[in-house]
Amino acid sequence: MNRLRFRQYHLDSHTSGDIPNIGKAFDAKQWQASLREAHADSITCFATCHHGWSYYDTKIGPKHPGLSFDLLRAQFDASKEIDVNVPIYMTMGIHNWAARQHPEWREIGHDGQYLGWTPSVTRPGFIAMCLNTPYLQWVCDQIHEVVRLFPNCDGIFLDIIKQGPCCCRWCLESMQELGMDATCEQDRLAHADLVLTRYYKIATAACRVDDPNMPVFHNSGHVKKGDQRIIDHVSHFELESLPTGGWGYDHFPISAKYCNKLGMEYLGMTGKFHTTWGEIGGYKHPNALHYECSAMLAMGAKCSVGDQMLPSGKLDPSTVRLIGQAYAEVEKKEPWCDDVTGVADIAMISNEKAGKVLKVGQLDSFDTDADMGAARILLESHFLFDVLEEKMSFEGYKALLLPDQIVVTDELKSRIDAYLAGGGKLILTGDSGIDESGQTCKWDLGAELCGKSEFLPDYIAPVEGIAPSFTASPMVMYLRSNRLRVSQGESLGKVYDPYFNRTFQHFSSHQHTVYREEPTEFDCGVIHGNILYLAHPVFTIYRAFGSVIYRHYITNAIRRFLGDDISLTTNMPSMARLNLLEQKNKQRYVLHLLYANRMLRGGSMKLPDGIAKPMQAVEVIEELLPLCNTQVSLKLDKPIRNITLEPEGKELPFSQNNGRIDIELDSFTCHQMVVLHY
């Protein structure tokens, strides 16, 4: 079995053909010294790049015009000599050389315009190729060449795996043969999906033409929940998630908590850059990379850090030092981070696969707003949770969470009914489990549903214990609710309507209209038996507005509902994160505590062409401050023999009563592993 290594170096090499003397300063001994300084045990090197150039002696693709020798072979042999693995990178979805030679292989929209990253022929950038053209066979021939020249490589990394709704001649012919209507957007999208499915089969087979066990990963920048195609055609996952490059610090935990359930190894992938890929001369603070690598370990992942190769063929010395500082710590922690499984109370079903997906604000291109808001609430409130798609097992979880938009099919309802009959609990919010009219729920809520509210926004006044501790006044809810009239269940509070919706005919003040003094007959939420329902799409609202009052309201409701079923409580601040993993073969739990101050820096700015992409404010980490007097209480199934702080090997005192373990740490900085031996 091929096992992923913990300390991987992803070396981008996208280099213009107008740059000369590629690899002129490459020296095997210097390369090896740099890898040792970086504490890297694997390095991904390039066979081909987005510009379309090859970095090895190829008979199929164009070799970089500024390269006079086989650079990939030199990197490969030097790395292998010191037992550093070498996966090989190949570009797939974009290829500028092929686009120039064969413009008919490009993705073309139904309006005749080019699709993809750079539709205009006069703008700099990479060009999207259609995977339904002869391009696919041509590039697969090059994959055959690479795996035969490097049969002992440690995997093939295929990049930019996407297919647009193309109307090139091949796609038009294919749609006609399949009885699809090229004038219909839905058919064009469905056809693109078929093309992508075919791609996975053909490209994976090309990678494994001689070795059926060749590791393969198809990278799209995000692992879509429930996409069986990628699950069937990869050996592992590499979770591209550069916090400052558009993904943010919340994307990776969601992906990791999903991939942990798939039974395959996975890497977290960040970068050394302050922003994103290709930022030459951009560096994040070493403390940021220390935190990001620690977060990967805490979420059960191994580590990958991205860089851009200098044309000289040397590894950038500043990057080597930066990565080396982080990986020196990773190396010490590896024994407690391998072969781990997650421990969780709550299973969050992702909107990405289950039912309709609505992105209210189009705030990013990765997770849905509901998923992101729910994950933030759970992370910031320190619940133990996993992310599932609807076909995964619900066994062992104390509650299922269906955030905001989950359409409950008959099959899903049947599975949830069986789960509830076995003593499980169900959390519904917004439209999850509700029909489009807002009048019927798949389960008995102990309340009557009376359709959608006519008011946007409206207000809620949660009951004592559910309301935030610092306010008792009605609080604004920015998205439309389902009208809920509680009859048998426990009401969680009342809804207040505004005097009117804001229009040009009548409005009040700067934003929304003030609420009426008397509450309506409707309720904001209900607990009925083993079901909790909140009438607003609370997670989408939190994703968009981030107001602390929403987190307190939602968290208080969940804590009231779950009660003693909550396995972990802590006094850690919302900025801190934790995760509980189990190493069953070592008979121990590993509790990961994480803390770093993330600050918003920079701002929205359109920079001159050729300088950088338009900028947005980014979260950065600079100082790592100690977190003091951290208390954690855990309810576990197994009695604990002793607790140690690792990798220090220091014994930690604890108390254990009725299956609950209480611990306290005087202080830790950035990342602490608390190991509970049973």
Q: How many domains is the chain built from?
A: 3
Residue 194, CA distances (Å) to 107, 141, 200 in order: 15, 22, 10
Instruction: Note whether 105 and 134 are within 8 A (CB).
Output: yes
Residue 626, CA distances (Å) to 110, 246, 252, 290, 411 in order: 56, 28, 23, 14, 48
Instruction: Note whether 492 and 523 are within 8 A (CB).
Output: yes
Q: Angle, nearest 10°, between helix axes 71-81 and 28-37?
A: 60
228 and 363 together in one domain: no
Q: Are strands 346-349 and 447-452 parallel, antiparallel or unpaired?
A: unpaired
pLDDT value, residue 622 = 96
Would you say residue 170 has pLDDT above 60? yes
Would you say residue 44 has pLDDT above 60? yes
236 and 307 together in one domain: yes
Would you say residue 62 has pLDDT above 80? yes
Final residue of a domain: which of 497, 531, 566? 566
State the average pLDDT over residues 581-594: 98
Would you say residue 629 has pLDDT above 90? yes
1 found inside a domain: no
534 found inside a domain: yes
| SS3 at position 147 | helix
548 and 642 together in one domain: no
Residue 622, CA distances (Å) to 252, 274, 290, 334, 619 in order: 19, 11, 10, 25, 10
- The structure tokens listed for 207 are 């990678």
Q: Which H or E element spans position 311?
A: none
State the average pLDDT over residues 177-186: 97
116-125, 310-319, 361-370, range with the lowest pLDDT? 361-370
| SS3 at position 655 | strand
**pLDDT range class, residue 365, cuts 50, 70, 90:** low
Instruction: Note whether 433 and 410 are within 8 A (CB).
Output: no
How far apart CA 297 and CA 647 sit, in angstroms, is 13
Q: pLDDT above 70 covers what percent of the chain?
A: 97
**pLDDT range class, residue 363, cuts 50, 70, 90:** very low
Instruction: Note whether 577 and 594 are within 8 A (CB).
Output: yes
Instruction: Note whether 515 and 496 are within 8 A (CB).
Output: yes
Which CATH number covers residue 620?
Answer: 2.60.40
406 and 366 together in one domain: yes
2 found inside a domain: no
**In this structure, what are the phi and psi dihedrals at residue 459, rounded to the nearest 5 degrees?**
-135, 155
Which CATH number covers residue 536?
Answer: 3.40.50.880
Would you say residue 514 has pLDDT above 70? yes
Q: Could you check whether the bond before residue 573 is cis, i.e. omega within 30 degrees of 0?
A: no
Would you say residue 607 has pLDDT above 90? no
pLDDT value, residue 120 = 84
pLDDT one-digit tens code per residue, 397-440? 999 999 999 999 999 999 999 999 999 999 999 999 998 888 99
User: Residue 480 carries which DSSP code?
Assistant: P
Q: Are strands 525-528 and 216-219 parallel, antiparallel or unpaired?
A: unpaired
State the average pLDDT over residues 525-532: 98
Q: What share of the chain is helix, strand, coil (3-state, %, to 5)?
A: 25, 25, 50
**In this structure, what are the phi and psi dihedrals at residue 315, rounded to the nearest 5 degrees?**
-85, 130
Instruction: State the alpha helices, DSSP H only, in 12-54.
Output: 28-37
How far apart CA 371 and CA 352 sit, in angstroms, is 8
Q: Are strands 642-646 and 671-677 parallel, antiparallel or unpaired?
A: antiparallel
106 and 176 together in one domain: yes
User: Residue 118 carries which DSSP code?
Assistant: -
414 and 487 together in one domain: yes
How far apart CA 13 and CA 87 sit, in angstroms, is 14
Beta strands in 512-602 (DSSP E): 525-528, 531-534, 568-570, 577-583, 588-594, 598-601
Strands, sheet with 346-349, edge to edge from the N-terminal-most edge strand: 385-388, 346-349, 399-402, 425-429, 531-534, 525-528, 490-491
Would you say residue 373 has pLDDT above 60? yes
497 found inside a domain: yes
Give residues with Cβ within 8 angstroms of 364, minimum separation 6: 246, 247, 248, 251, 372
Q: Tokens 């602390």 appear where?
A: 548
Angle at 419 between CA 632 and CA 394, to 5 degrees: 60
428 and 444 together in one domain: yes
Q: Tally the C-alpha atoms within 13 A of residue 368's C-alpha that lie toward its C-beta.
A: 27
How far apart CA 496 and CA 519 sit, in angstroms, is 5
3-state secondary structure 124-186: CCCCEECCCCCHHHHHHHHHHHHHHHCCCCCCEEEECCCCCCCCCHHHHHHHHHCCCCCCCHH
Give residues with Cβ within 8 angstroms of 421, minimum separation 6: none
655 found inside a domain: yes
Final residue of a domain: which of 566, 601, 622? 566
| SS3 at position 488 | coil
Would you say residue 671 has pLDDT above 50? yes
Q: pLDDT above 90 covers what percent of the chain?
A: 90
Would you say residue 489 has pLDDT above 70? yes
How far apart CA 576 and CA 573 sit, in angstroms, is 6
**pLDDT range class, residue 123, cuts 50, 70, 90:** confident
How far apart CA 313 and CA 46 sit, in angstroms, is 12
Nearest by Cα to 640 from 589, 678, 608: 678
State the average pLDDT over residues 207-225: 96
pLDDT one-digit tens code per residue, 1-40? 579 999 999 999 999 999 999 999 999 999 999 999 999 9
pLDDT value, residue 610 = 65
Instruction: Note whether 253 and 578 are within 8 A (CB).
Output: no
Domain range for 368? 346-566
Residue 34, CA distances (Å) to 86, 177, 315, 495, 678 in order: 15, 55, 7, 63, 41
354 found inside a domain: yes
How far apart CA 607 and CA 602 sit, in angstroms, is 13
483 and 588 together in one domain: no
- The structure tokens listed for 423 are 């003593």
Q: Tally the C-alpha atoms within 13 A of residue 305's C-alpha that lie toward its C-beta.
A: 31
Over the chain, what is the mean pLDDT?
Answer: 95
pLDDT one-digit tens code per residue, 218-237? 999 999 998 888 999 999 99
505 and 633 together in one domain: no
How far apart CA 513 and CA 497 sit, in angstroms, is 9
395 and 491 together in one domain: yes
Instruction: Note whether 486 and 447 are within 8 A (CB).
Output: yes
pLDDT value, residue 437 = 82
304 and 356 together in one domain: no
279 and 372 together in one domain: no
pLDDT value, residue 616 = 81
pLDDT value, residue 603 = 84
- The structure tokens listed for 657 are 């009563």
pLDDT value, residue 1 = 58
Final residue of a domain: which of 290, 311, 338? 338
Q: Tokens 């039974």 appear where?
A: 263
| SS3 at position 24 | coil
CA 201, chain centre distance (Å): 24
